Amino acid sequence: MVGANGSTEEKKSEGLAVKESVTANIGEDVTLSCTVSFHLLSDAHIAWKLEDIVIHVNEGRYSMNVKDKSAYLTVSSVTFRDRGNYTCEVRQSSVSSCQLYLSVFGFTVWLLEGEQKNALLNGSDVYLSLSTPLSLMCQIDECSKNTSLSWYIDNQHISSNDFRYGPIWFENENGVKSTATFESPTATLKGKFIKCRAVCGFQAREVSVRLDIQSRPILMMPDRPLIESQPVSISCTLNDSLKDYVFRWTITDKDVTVNATQKLNKVGLWMSTLSLWPLKEHNEKPISCGLGNDPSRFESLQMNVLYGAVISNIEVWPSTLVDENSDVNVTCDVKSNPIHENVVQWERFVNGHSKKWIRIRERTVLEMKGTTWYQWVLQLVNVKRGHVGFYRCTATNGIGRFAESDPVNLQLNEMGICFDNGIEFVENERTTIRCLIKRRTQMSVIRWLINNEEDVTRNSTSKDIIDDSGRTVTESRLQFHPLRKYNGKRLTCTSGTEEYSGGTIVLNVSYCPDQVIFTQCDYTDENILTCESGMSNPPIDLRLELDGIDVSNDVHVTKVNRSKYTGYISSVSATTYLNDIREASPNITCCSTTNRCTKLCDVCISMGTKHQASFSFMLGALSTAAFLLAALVILFRLYYLHRQNLRGDAVELPECGSSRGTGAENRTLHPHINAQDYANSSSSSSEAIYEHMKDRTTYVNESGT
């Protein structure tokens, strides 16, 4: 069974007396019913639950009553929180229960204004202006059944093909959202009711709003341009004479209504006039005319205020303290409207008899140019003593008077570090550096600093000298001992005064590497030789030598992975000299190549494969065995000779290299033979045995068996 305001759909379910699905409109009341097979008595125990949570009936928005065989639960002002599974349990002589599902049909009409949207109530008014787009959105918040949305004006269905009210566009999304946009509303819409009808299954809801077409103020700028400080009148008219409106004027959200008046014009329309003294600050700012009692109705325009040139900044780059023979830029920033009419001139103050500003003409050392319409530059090239002094710029665009900048004072830097042409800082080679101070007080102290931390003044001397111009200047000479730790650091000569703080140079100290610290040969499939030099400045180059011959440019040698402090040479071919090491054992050497540093070389250190290492071990083992065998033979013969000498008998020994039991001729050793000579001859025999074993080992290595 269903409540008064809900629709039901009966479903059979085993074990339940009744199971229903109920749909209710959001904000309305709905009654849920549970019917059992027996009459309900007054002492029957009845409990309602929502998703297994017991509902306290007769409290808040819930109420319950019983009639005959049915129990009724009424929910007032349904919200989305009321949706879900409801269960009714009845305990009397037996236990019976019902289950229902309540779905909530949500439906809203929105007024869209840019990124914002405002909900509209049924029967509310919507105000809009002629030709101002209007967008309304109709949205079904929740419905589990078939849905549809449609639009009506005064109960007449409208579509995109209806042009009675201007162009209308519709945008639908899956039957749950529809947007109607009136691109250019006409006066025929005034007083009309626009309605959205939403259908959810068998449920339908409608929301209607009334359209009130209202005119917006019309803002009219004067025909002549707005010029700074020249008064002007701006008018604002409203095509509506039915109400007593109050106009409101703003410039960038600042209220200027106090300077405005309003009245009915000759045709009966309201008009307001603003008296304005434009300022350059008003340029490109919005001016708005609206209705004080209806902020949504306004019109805004951007002002274009013409004003004369204004010099916002003048500066010197890199500094007003100029080094002689250097280049300097004097920059003048100019603002005006119109900007393209600017005329910028440069002047220099002559401190002679006339003591006046004179205009600078284009000459060899002075060049004028405009980098942009906002920035103008005076370039002083190869500055001399006669170029120092006060400079300023003037500008105009034909509006108002010339603008003058503050003067800037260019001064010649009377202090700096000097050194002879071609000087080079080399590690441990003492160098003399001069610092000339052309302006200083007697209280000034000349100091030499490295990175403004290490004071090396103790290694300097100072005296007064006569320069090329005949002036007396102070010269300080520093006996500087360059070390590699000073490379990249700043050396400063300072007089201790703020006006002439000092001159600075960055030290570039050349030094040689301590040694070639690493060389390695790798007899892998790539056959790479790698050598790395020690740190140096500038970085040295490395080359590959084969028996003293430079083979760095051989086609089989490739230089790779060069960095600031290290150099690498690599060989990657199977036919390179690296393979030859195993055959001819040449001297593969990595050497430094520089004229200013001692040549450093390092012989390649072999890094063979495991297979080659096993043969090297076999070679060493066989060599050791050969030497041990020879030593045993010598000892045996010496012992035998010693015994025979004691007996005085001749001894017959087989010839070195003969085979026993072959019938070869034996030779007799005289009893008085020198044992040392025989030992030497025996040693030669052992060397022959070693060479034989060595040849055999080489053969085994080459055969690879």
Tell which of 303, 326, 345 closes a domain. 303
Whether residue 587 is found in the same domain as residue 555: yes
pLDDT band at residue 327, thresholds of 50, 70 and 90?
confident
> What is each CA distance from 689 to 26, 434, 499, 627, 699, in whole angstroms?
113, 76, 90, 9, 15
Structural domain contains residue 392: yes
CA-angle at 672, arms to 667 and 676, nearest 5°: 85
pLDDT of residue 693: 34
For 581, list phi and psi in degrees, rounded to 5. Answer: -60, -35
Whether residue 455 is found in the same domain as residue 473: yes
Better pLDDT: 372 or 120: 120
State how far the Cα of 137 lies from the Cα of 178, in Å rounded to an integer: 6
Whether residue 210 is found in the same domain as residue 236: no
Structural domain contains residue 17: yes
pLDDT in tens, 340-391: 888 888 888 877 656 778 787 654 334 455 555 678 888 888 888 778 889 9
Whether residue 524 is found in the same domain as residue 587: yes
Structural domain contains residue 116: no
Whether residue 392 is found in the same domain as residue 408: yes
| Domains: count for the chain | 7
pLDDT of residue 623: 52
pTM over 0.85? The answer is: no
pLDDT in tens, 414-473: 666 666 555 788 998 888 888 877 655 555 678 899 998 899 999 999 888 877 666 677
pLDDT of residue 658: 34
Over residues 15-24, mean pLDDT: 62
Whether residue 500 is found in the same domain as residue 442: yes
Token code pair at residue 14: 């085993």
Average model confidence (pLDDT) across the chain = 74
Whether residue 299 is found in the same domain as residue 351: no
- CATH code of the domain in which 407 resides: 2.60.40.10
Q: How many residues does the chain have?
A: 705
pLDDT of residue 663: 37
Tell which of 608, 641, 658 closes a domain. 608
Whether residue 96 is found in the same domain as residue 152: no
pLDDT of residue 591: 83
Over residues 43-67, mean pLDDT: 87
Whether residue 260 is found in the same domain as residue 203: no
Question: Domain span at residue 136?
Answer: 121-214
pLDDT in tens, 507-533: 999 988 877 667 777 666 566 677 777
CB count within 10 Å of CB 316 equals 18
pLDDT of residue 80: 80
Tell which of 41, 75, 104 closes a domain. 104
Over residues 223-241, mean pLDDT: 87
Whether residue 223 is found in the same domain as residue 298: yes
Range with the poorest average pLDDT among 39-48, 121-130, 201-210, 435-444: 435-444
pLDDT at 39 over 90: no
Q: Please say whether the dihedral angle defined by the alpha carbons of residues 72, 73, 78 and 80, taken in this order, is positive or negative.
A: negative
pLDDT of residue 170: 87
Structural domain contains residue 110: no
Structural domain contains residue 2: no
Whether residue 60 is found in the same domain as residue 134: no
Structural domain contains residue 201: yes
- Do residues 425 and 488 lie in contact, with contact meaning Cβ atoms separated by under 8 Å? no
